[in-house]
Structure 1
Amino acid sequence: MNHAIFEKNSLILLIGTLIVVSIGGIVEIAPLFMIQSTIEKVEGMRPYSPLELAGRDIYVREGCYNCHSQMIRSLRDEIERYGHYSLAAESMYDHPFQWGSKRTGPDLARVGGKYSNDWHVEHMRSPRAVVSASIMPGYPFLAQTPLKAEHIEEQMRTLRIVGVPYTDEQIENAQADLLAQVSPEAPGGAEMQKRYPNAVFADSPSKAGVTEEDALVAYLQHLGVSVDFKLYDDKANIR
């Protein structure tokens, strides 16, 4: 094919480029208008419990996303280190999402259930006591800071407006569920777990009420535990 006409005439080259880009754009964008959602429905995903939601706010407030990502790419080394690659549905209830942009510390997308509550507590208070090479600052003040969650119901109602499927029952029982998740001995724990399957009790070692540390531990323990990845695991096909 003779390309001289495009090489010698910038205007024709520009028009040709626009035509090619337009065709490519139509092919990629047009199908999106014919489907309801680009997010695959994944069994097991649920909204955050009130305590987890409060912990997520603390995670954002303290800027944890600046050093930790929550996005495992579909590369072999990442899958072998962190676990199954991230699914879009795992961030469907995050406003905003916490994918992060760098990793000073490890990815946290699968940190839930990897360590005990006591490990997280010690790590928050004195990181180098459990990870000698850690450069993470300590957050001991979280254990002495009472959790302020008097507006958690309003927050859940707001999130429902943008698509998080909180039910009236979940919103009405928000304060009770928050208190119930602090300890297995707390009243209402069974009802809380029915509303929020796989919710991990914070099991706070302190008896001074619910603290910000309790909320943050509950949030971290929820990351990556909702989905049965055996249904989506294709690591055996990676070469």
Structure 2
Amino acid sequence: MIKHERLEKNTGLLLLFTLAVISIGGLIEIVPLFYIDGTIEEVKKSVTEVKLDENFQPVLDENGNAVMVTREVDAIRPYTPLEFLGRNIYVAEGCYNCHSQQIRPMQDEYERYGHYSLAAESQFDKPFQWGSRRIGPDLARVGGKMDNQWHVDHLVDPKSRVPASIMPKYPWLLEDDLYYADVKEHLSAARIAGVPYSKTEEEYQANIERFGVDVANMLVIDLAAQNLEAQAAAGNYDMNPDRLTKMDAIVAYLQVLGTMVEFKEDQGIEFSEFR
């Protein structure tokens, strides 16, 4: 048996054993991937919507009323135009340096943040925002935990909501108007990377089949600006209905994180405001 001291003093031997350990660890993680059908979970939800015929036209009953049907569609969808620009702001401001978006399958993580993160939840993130360190809390399931006003106050002055916070202030998010004249170009670039935003009728119809009509309408590239304005007006994310600011976008993004999957089991203790 090789003594530990001998291993540490022999550079070649230490390198050999290091490579062996790394190789074994890599094989343990990589080999199983070749024996499973997929690494992305299939997450479905039920939607009730107007039934469409083979030409994607509404089916009417004998009284001329639209026939409603309930069916299964993909629960995980791409970001709306407003959420997409909010994610861009999140990345541009460096939020990912302090906040991960990956809840690990451990008891303490479950109790603090909820159900562990699924690969499916990040399938449309280019690149994903998992992260490996946390200066602030994980944000994978922050959506819906606090209201819009909380997020606005917290981003403008973090200590107003969390007195012990060391997070910097971001007051300009509330002061700067959101530039979205090029939102179509952003979505088009994401489409090239494989995110299913639709540019053709065939892609739109495929999205109807995959996500449902309401979501498919939000993913039409040519309607991006219109959909963005409508969502901002309806959500009033910056608490100022008279303006469309960067705050609208980033709060819309934060509020959707972790909300696309409905877990049946208990998701852990209540999300503490002061964490």
The TM-score, its normalising length taken from structure 1, stands at 0.76
User: Relative to structure 1, is the Cα distance of residues 234 and 117 closer, same or farther in structure 2, using a 3 angstrom cutoff?
Assistant: closer
Identify the residue that residue 92 of structure 2 maps to in structure 1.
Answer: 61
Aligned equivalents of 1:111, 1:30: Cα separation in 2: 34
* Cα distance in 1 between the residues matched to 2:163 and 2:119: 34
Q: 1:72 touches 1:82 (CA, 8 Å); kept in 2? A: yes
Tell me the distance in 2 between the aligned counterparts of 1:234 and 1:176. Answer: 36
Distance in 1 between the 2:87 and 2:267 partners? 30
Q: What is the match of residue 173 of structure 1?
A: 223
Q: How far did residue 41 of structure 1 move?
A: 1.8
Q: Per residue, is there more helix in 1 or in 2?
A: 1
Whether the 8 Å CA contact 1:66–1:101 is kept in 2: the answer is no
Deviation at 1:33, TM superposition (A): 5.5
Paired AA for residue 84 in structure 1: H
Matched, 1:223 2:223: no
Corresponding residue of 1:209: 243
Distance change in 2, residues 1:29/1:120 (3 Å): closer
Aligned to 1:191: none
Question: Residue by residue, what CA displacement relative to the aligned partner does 1:75-121 show, whole Å, maximum 9, x if unpaired?
Answer: 00000000000001111011111112211111100100000001101
Runs (5+) with no aligned partner, structure 1? 4-9, 185-200
Q: Deviations over 1:10-64 (max 9, x none)?
A: 9xxx8xx98xx69x94x87566557664212222100000000000000000000
Is the counterpart of residue 153 in structure 1 residue 184 in structure 2? yes
Instruction: Verify: 1:125 aligned to 2:159, yes or no.
Output: no
Whether the 8 Å CA contact 1:202–1:217 is kept in 2: the answer is: no
CA distance in 2, matches of 1:79, 1:164: 29
Q: Post-superposition, which runs of at least 4 consecutive aligned residues in structure 1 deviate over 3 A?
A: 27-37
Paired residue secondary structure (1:181):
helix
Matched residue SS, 1:102: coil
Identity of aligned residues (%): 54
- Higher strand residue share: 2
- CA–CA separation in structure 1 for the residues paired with 2:30 and 2:117: 23
Shifted more, 57-66 versus 146-155: the winner is 146-155
Once residues 125 and 51 of structure 1 are traced to their aligned partners in structure 2, the CA distance between those partners, rounded to angstroms, is 20
Instruction: Tell me how far 1:202 sits from its aligned partner.
Output: 3.6
Structure 2 residue 233 is the aligned partner of structure 1 residue 183? yes
Report the CA distance between 1:167 and its aligned residue: 2.1
Where does the alignment leave 5 or more consecutive residues of structure 2 unmatched? 2-11, 45-74, 205-219, 269-275
Which residue number corresponds to residue 109 of structure 1? 140
Aligned position for 1:193: none
